[in-house]
């Protein structure tokens, strides 16, 4: 699992880029035996212009643009990309109100599917797109892209969020090994700090990373049943299970020597800058985030499997946590081009183009892990496909956007305030509950 190499990643990138530049124009069957709409629509999409909006920037944006280029080469459609920034709702809201939405939007929270469906801002998927989803996805992933039982979205990108990435040299210098329990992690952190390196580079300016940390700790300490209840606000955030999780987080937040730049510095460090602090600047030893850290580690000059390694998020309680995230593609304009793109993204063919690029995991069960560019990603991809009963979806992404997906508000802001003052567990709980009541009313 830790034997991936940046050379393999970059080689995969080169192959994929080359493939995109020479995308076939002949029809290829999907897993269901039918041809993707993009293949059959090659002539009719000549001259068609589509706009796709997503949150990705930097390397993630460049990789997605290669997938869009493969679609364009295949169909003749002209696709432009617009970045929404971290706050997808703030970007899309005015455009929806102005009746000028993008043709296709990539939503970082499935909770937004229901929100926009309630506003009549989404176009139901055509039977052809639904057929592609049924052929390539499990019912669980299809449900995440649906609202009131009607499919509106395609889960096009998955994320394994229960990982801790580390700089091998920092561990070697301190003489520590990857932890399997939370207590070991905290003990190792102290040893690393004593060696002169802050153990954690926290991405505090990006509030969603703090929700990921909370979710891993909470799933492990409170268990899957309580996780489900809290995700639906069936138990309050003032519940003792939340107190336990926040107190565990406070074991990291409460020691300034544990955090690169201290707590105030962490609150000014976004993702992916926190990754650069570990692998470019050698200021920290670990960053707690998903598989897509690999993209930024490679950009920082680290070789995955050598300088950049990871270990599973350690058990804090009785449950070994596995948190999944994902991005949902939806159509906001009723056009053949938008539906053709969604069908391409849902297809085995589209997934395989993306799988050859770094920092991507596919929820498409027919995208073979053999397409991934390194052993690390292959094994993570298999985890996504064969996830067990204890696996849970990112809690904040399931919540109403006002609570779990808005920069500077809701859960993001309260956890940032908690990072600023980790001694006030009760205050954080009360603030979280107050925000939740507003969002779920």
* Range of the structural domain that residue 207 is part of: 163-321+408-440
Number of domains in the chain: 2
Enter the pTM of the model: 0.75
What confidence score (pLDDT) does residue 387 get?
Answer: 61
Q: What is the pLDDT, as a whole number, of residue 336?
A: 85
Domain final position from 370, 385, 400: 385
Sign of CA dihedral 376, 266, 214, 110: negative
> How far is the C-alpha of 358 from the C-alpha of 212, rounded, in Å?
21
Q: What is the mean pLDDT of the chain?
A: 88
Position 388 confidence tier, pLDDT thresholds 50, 70, 90: low
Average the pLDDT over 246-261 and give the result. Answer: 98
pLDDT recorded at residue 352: 97
Kindly state whether residue 287 falls inside one of the protein's structural domains. yes
Instruction: Report if residue 401 sits inside a domain.
Output: no
Gap between the Cα atoms of 429 and 10, Å rounded? 44
CA-closest candidate to residue 290, choices 131, 140, 111, 165: 165
Are 143 and 227 in a shared domain?
no
> Do both 267 and 371 map to the same domain?
no
182 lies in the same domain as 278 = yes
Least confident of 5-19, 148-162, 269-283, 398-412: 5-19
Structural contact between residues 88 and 324, judged by C-beta atoms closer than 8 angstroms: no
Residues 6+ apart with CB under 8 A from 315: 180, 181, 182, 220, 321
pLDDT confidence of residue 409: 96
Q: How confident is the model at residue 44 (pLDDT cuts 50, 70, 90)?
A: confident
Is beta strand 323-331 parallel, antiparallel or unpaired with respect to 104-107?
Answer: antiparallel
Mean local confidence (pLDDT), 195-213: 97
pLDDT tens, position by position, 87-99: 898 999 999 999 9
Q: Please, what's the largest Cα pairwise distance for the chain? A: 65
Residues 274 and 417 in one domain: yes
Give me the mean pLDDT over the 26-43 stretch.
39
Contact between 384 and 362 (Cβ < 8 Å): yes
Q: Average pLDDT for residues 246-270, to the nearest whole number?
A: 98
> Does residue 13 have a cis bond before it (omega within 30 degrees)?
no
Residue that is written with structure tokens 């009549």 in the block: 120
Asked, for residue 391, whether it belongs to a domain, the answer is no
The phi, psi pair for 165, rounded to 5°, reads -90, 145
CATH of the domain at 123: 3.40.190.10
- Output the pLDDT for position 106: 98
Quick: pLDDT tens for 122-172: 999 999 999 999 999 988 889 889 999 999 999 999 989 999 999 999 999
Same domain, 412 and 303: yes
Q: Cα(187)–Cα(193) distance, rounded to whole angstroms?
A: 10
Work out the burial of residue 245: count CB atoms within 10 Å of its CB; fewer than 13 is exposed, 13-18 middle, 19 or more buried. Answer: buried
Q: Do 172 and 268 have their domain in common?
A: yes
Asked if residue 393 belongs to a domain, the reply is: no
Does residue 338 lie within any of the structural domains? Answer: yes
Comparing 181 with 325, the larger pLDDT belongs to 181
Task: Indicate whether 287 and 432 sit together in one domain.
Answer: yes
Same domain, 373 and 435: no
Token representation of residue 341: 């793109």
User: Same domain, yes or no, for 298 and 264?
Assistant: yes
179/238 same-domain check: yes
Residue 119, Cβ density class (10 Å: 0-12 exposed, 13-18 middle, ≥19 buried): exposed
| Residues 128, 256 within the same domain | no
Is 69 in the same domain as 107?
A: yes
Contact 207, 411 (CB under 8 A): yes
Q: Please check whether residue 400 lies inside any domain of the structure.
A: no
């Amino acid at each position: 699992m830790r034997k991936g190499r940046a050379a393999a990643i970059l080689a995969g990138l080169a192959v994929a880029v080359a493939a995109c530049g020479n995308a076939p124009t002949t029809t290829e069957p999907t897993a269901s035996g039918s041809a993707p709409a993009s293949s059959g629509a090659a002539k009719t999409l000549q001259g068609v212009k589509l706009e796709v909006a997503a949150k990705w920037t930097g390397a993630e944006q460049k990789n997605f643009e290669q997938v869009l280029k493969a679609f364009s080469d295949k169909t003749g459609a002209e696709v432009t990309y617009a970045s929404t920034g971290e706050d997808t709702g703030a970007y899309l809201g005015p455009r929806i109100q102005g009746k000028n939405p993008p043709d296709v939007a990539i939503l970082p929270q499935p909770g937004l599917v229901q929100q926009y469906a309630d506003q009549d801002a989404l176009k139901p998927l055509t039977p052809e797109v639904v057929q592609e989803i049924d052929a390539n996805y499990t019912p669980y992933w299809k449900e995440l892209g649906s609202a009131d039982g009607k499919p509106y979205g395609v889960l096009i990108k998955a994320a394994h969020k229960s990982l801790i990435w580390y700089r091998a040299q920092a561990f070697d210098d301190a003489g520590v090994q990857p932890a399997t329990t939370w207590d070991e992690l905290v003990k190792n952190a102290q040893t690393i700090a004593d060696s002169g390196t802050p153990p954690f580079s926290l991405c505090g300016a990006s509030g969603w990373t703090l929700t990921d940390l909370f979710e891993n700790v909470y799933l492990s300490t409170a268990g899957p049943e309580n996780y489900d209840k809290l995700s639906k606000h069936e138990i309050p955030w003032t519940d003792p299970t939340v107190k336990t999780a926040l107190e565990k987080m406070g074991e990291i937040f409460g020691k300034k020597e544990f955090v690169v730049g201290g707590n105030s510095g962490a609150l000014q460090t976004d993702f992916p800058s926190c990754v650069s602090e570990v692998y470019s600047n050698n200021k920290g030893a670990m960053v707690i985030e998903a598989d897509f850290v690999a993209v930024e580690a490679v950009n920082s000059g680290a070789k995955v499997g050598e300088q950049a390694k990871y270990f599973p998020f350690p058990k804090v309680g009785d449950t070994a946590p596995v948190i999944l995230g994902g991005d949902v593609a939806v159509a906001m304009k009723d056009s053949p081009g938008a539906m053709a793109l969604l069908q391409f993204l849902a297809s085995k063919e589209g997934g395989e183009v993306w799988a050859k690029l770094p920092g991507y995991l596919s929820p498409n069960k027919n995208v073979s892990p053999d397409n991934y560019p390194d052993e690390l990603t292959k094994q993570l991809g298999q985890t996504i496909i064969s996830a067990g009963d204890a696996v849970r979806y990112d809690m904040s992404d399931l919540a109403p956007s006002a609570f779990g997906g808005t920069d500077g508000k809701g859960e993001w802001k309260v956890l940032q305030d908690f990072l600023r003052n980790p001694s006030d567990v009760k205050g954080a709980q009360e603030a979280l509950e107050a925000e939740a009541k507003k969002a779920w009313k």
